[in-house]
Copies of this chain bind each other. A is one copy, B any other.
Amino acid sequence: MSSDQSAAMLIIGNEILSGRTADANVKFFANILGKQGIPLYEVRVVRDIEIEIIEATLALAEKYDYVFTTGGIGPTHDDITTASIAKAFTVKLELHKPSLEKMESYYGAHLNEARKKMAFLPEGSVPIETRITSAPGFRIHNVFVMAGVPIIAQAMLESVLDTLPNGMPVLSRFVEAYIAEGDLADIMDAIQTEYPDIDLGSYPFFRNETVGLSVVAKGRNIDSINSAIEKIATHIKTLGHELTIDAELPN
């Protein structure tokens, strides 16, 4: 399955790595980007440490068409993402006046030095503004730098979607049954070979203390997806199992 565009995410997040918080952005970004035909190909989570942020940003920016970072653009001492990204691209920080004005109007007398830091963006970057917060994210080269708080990160993603190309979206269908993975391995292998333009994956789950399996067909050719899913469903039925199948996707 080839793709025109590719994306990666870089999560700058001590709170994820310490186990305090579960990431809540990857699933949302993956779905939104996938629908726009820009599949997510890699995710990294690194600590709030300058060299880690720089190395991961540059590695991902070189390998993929777009990189989306989340986290570390707030006002506190541990919010070092903006400065680290500027260093990665060897540019200085400069005041983004419209953002400072927005923040002045929002914070009034509470606009302290810590908050003003959020109006400084790397030279040459384009601010990412939302209605949720007066402090912006920004785009520099192919890197989109966003807040970590999910509702802000998601608003920032939605505000840049129009600036990204529309690739051919990745479609998917699934069939689920209380069947063991090993009992479907041969047929899945055969069907994957028959339809090289889709990705066929199988994901075991436990529900009601029983082992079950989701078989997912993904790709850009809906006919291949439909045929593959039908063949797997038929096979599951011949093995005597009930199954759940999602509705057919629109053509």
Contact = CB atoms under 8 A, between A and B. Distances in A.
Interface of A: 11, 14-24, 26-31, 34, 39-48, 52, 74-78, 107, 110, 112-115, 148-149, 151, 170, 172, 180-186, 188-189, 192, 199-206, 216, 218
A32 to B, nearest CB: 8
Given A14-B201, A20-B172, A204-B149, A114 B44 contact: no
A104 to B, nearest CB: 13
A76 B188 CA distance: 7
A218 to B, nearest CB: 6
A79 to B, nearest CB: 8
Contacts of A28: 19
B30 A17 contact: yes
Given A23-B26, A42-B47, A206-B149, A77 B189 contact: yes
Given A16-B26, A17-B39, A112-B183, 7 more contacts: A17-B30, A18-B34, A44-B44, A48-B201, A74-B182, A76-B181, A114-B182
Contact of A30 (B19, B75, B188, B205): B19
The quantity of this chain's copies bound in the complex is: 2
A184 B18 contact: no
A52 B6 CA distance: 14
A246 B221 CA distance: 53
6 tightest A-B contacts by CB?
A: A19-B30, A114-B185, A19-B31, A43-B45, A115-B182, A77-B189
A110 B239 CA distance: 13
B17 A22 contact: no
Nearest to A170: B18
A22 B14 contact: no
A203 B42 contact: no
26 contacts: A16-B26, A16-B27, A17-B41, A18-B30, A19-B30, A20-B203, A21-B27, A21-B203, A41-B47, A42-B44, A43-B43, A43-B45, A75-B181, A76-B181, A76-B184, A76-B189, A77-B189, A77-B192, A78-B200, A78-B202, A110-B183, A112-B182, A112-B186, A113-B186, A115-B185, A149-B206
Contacts of A203: 15, 20-21, 148
